[in-house]
Amino acid sequence: MGPGDLTILTSGAADVVPEEALAAKLALGRPLRVKLGLDPTAPAVTLGWAVVLRKLRQFQDAGHTAVLIVGDFTARVGDPSGKSETRKRLTKEEVDGYAERLLDQFRLVLSEERLEIRRNSEWLEPMDMEGILGLTAAYTVARMLERDDFAKRYQAGKPISIMEFMYPLLQGYDSVAVEADVELGGTDQLFNLLVGRELQRDRGLDPQLALTMPLLEGLDGVQKMSQSLGNYVGITEPADEQFGKLMSIPDGLIVKYVRLCTGVTPDEVAAIEAGLADGSAHPNEQKRRMAREVVDLYHGTGAGSGAEAVFDQVHKQHELPDDVPELPIPGDAIRDGRAWLPKVLVGTGLAASNGEARRAVQQGGVRLDGVALEDPEAEFDPEVLRGKVLQVGRRRFVRLT
Assess contact for 101 and 70: CB atoms under 8 A.
no
Burial class from Cβ neighbours inside 10 Å (0-12, 13-18, 19+) for residue 351 reads buried
**CA gap 6, 13 in Å, rounded:** 11
Whether residue 195 is contained in a domain is answered as yes
CATH number of the domain residue 274 falls in = 1.10.240.10
Q: What angle do CA 372, 373, 375 make, to 5 degrees?
A: 155
Using DSSP, state whether 4 is helix, strand or coil. coil
Distance between CA atoms of 396 and 374, rounded to whole angstroms?
18
Does 244 share its domain with 152?
Answer: no
Q: How many residues does the chain have?
A: 401
What pLDDT does 3 receive? 41
With beta carbons less than 8 A apart as the criterion, state whether 290 and 254 touch: yes
Which H/E stretch holds residue 72? none
Domain co-membership, 84 together with 199: yes
Residue 248, number of CB atoms within 10 A of its CB: 18
Q: Which of 213, 231, 261 is the last residue of a domain?
A: 213
- Does residue 258 fall inside a structural domain? yes
Q: Are residues 102 and 208 in the same domain?
A: yes
Q: Which domain holds residue 273?
A: 239-317
- With beta carbons less than 8 A apart as the criterion, state whether 174 and 120 touch: yes
Beta strands in 144-256 (DSSP E): 182-186, 209-213
Cα(45)–Cα(236) distance, integer angstroms: 8
Kindly write down the DSSP assignment for every residue of 172-202, as one continuous string.
Answer: HHHHHHHT-SEEEEEGGGHHHHHHHHHHHHH
Q: How far apart are CA 260 and CA 27, in angstroms?
A: 27
Cα angle at 160 between 157 and 162, to 5 degrees? 145
Find all residues with CB under 8 Å of 137, minimum gap 6, and list them. Answer: none
The per-residue pLDDT for 314 is 66
Structural domain contains residue 269: yes
Residue 223 inside a domain? The answer is no
Asked whether residue 37 is assigned to any structural domain, the reply reads yes
Query: Looking at the structure, do residues 257 and 195 belong to the same domain, yes or no?
Result: no
Distance (Å, rounded) from C-alpha 347 to C-alpha 333?
7
Q: Looking at 317, 335, 357, which one is the last position of a domain?
A: 317
51 close to 57: Cβ distance less than 8 angstroms: no
Domain C-terminal end among 265, 291, 317? 317
Same domain, residue pair 12 and 78:
yes
246 & 115 share domain: no
Q: How many domains does the chain have?
A: 3
Q: Are 257 and 286 in contact (CB under 8 A)?
A: no
Spell out the long-range contacts of 278-286 with Cβ–Cβ below 8 A and sequence spacing 24 or more: 283/251, 283/254, 286/254, 286/258
pLDDT of amino acid 81: 64
CATH of the domain at 352: 3.10.290.10
Task: Decide if 216 contacts 223 (C-beta within 8 A).
Answer: no
Residue 103 maps to which CATH number?
3.40.50.620
141 & 20 share domain: yes
Asked if residue 92 belongs to a domain, the reply is yes
Going from the C-alpha of 401 to that of each of 286, 308, 327, 354, 389, the distances in angstroms are 29, 29, 6, 21, 10
pLDDT at 374: 87
> Ramachandran region of residue 259, left (φ > 0), alpha (ψ -120 to 50) or beta?
alpha
- How many Cα neighbours within 13 Å face the side chain of 230? 23
What pLDDT is stored for residue 182 in this prediction? Answer: 98
Print pLDDT tens along the chain (401 aa).
454 588 889 999 999 999 999 999 999 999 999 999 999 988 899 999 999 999 999 999 999 999 999 999 999 887 776 554 555 678 888 888 889 889 999 999 999 999 999 999 999 999 999 999 999 888 888 888 887 878 888 888 888 888 888 889 999 999 999 999 999 999 999 999 999 999 999 999 999 999 999 999 999 899 999 988 888 999 999 998 899 999 999 999 999 999 999 999 999 999 999 999 999 999 999 999 999 999 999 999 999 999 998 888 766 655 565 667 889 988 888 888 898 999 999 999 888 788 888 888 888 889 888 888 888 888 888 888 888 888 887 667 888 98
- Residues 127, 177 within the same domain: yes
Say whether both 163 and 306 belong to one domain: no
Residue 287 phi/psi, 5-degree rounding, is -65, -40
Considering the domain architecture, whether residues 163 and 265 belong to the same structural domain is answered as: no
Q: Which of 226, 229, 214 is nearest to 52 (CA)?
A: 214
Residue 346 lies in a domain: yes
Residues 254 and 336 in one domain: no
Same domain, 123 and 151: yes
Residue 165 domain flag: yes
pTM (two decimals): 0.75
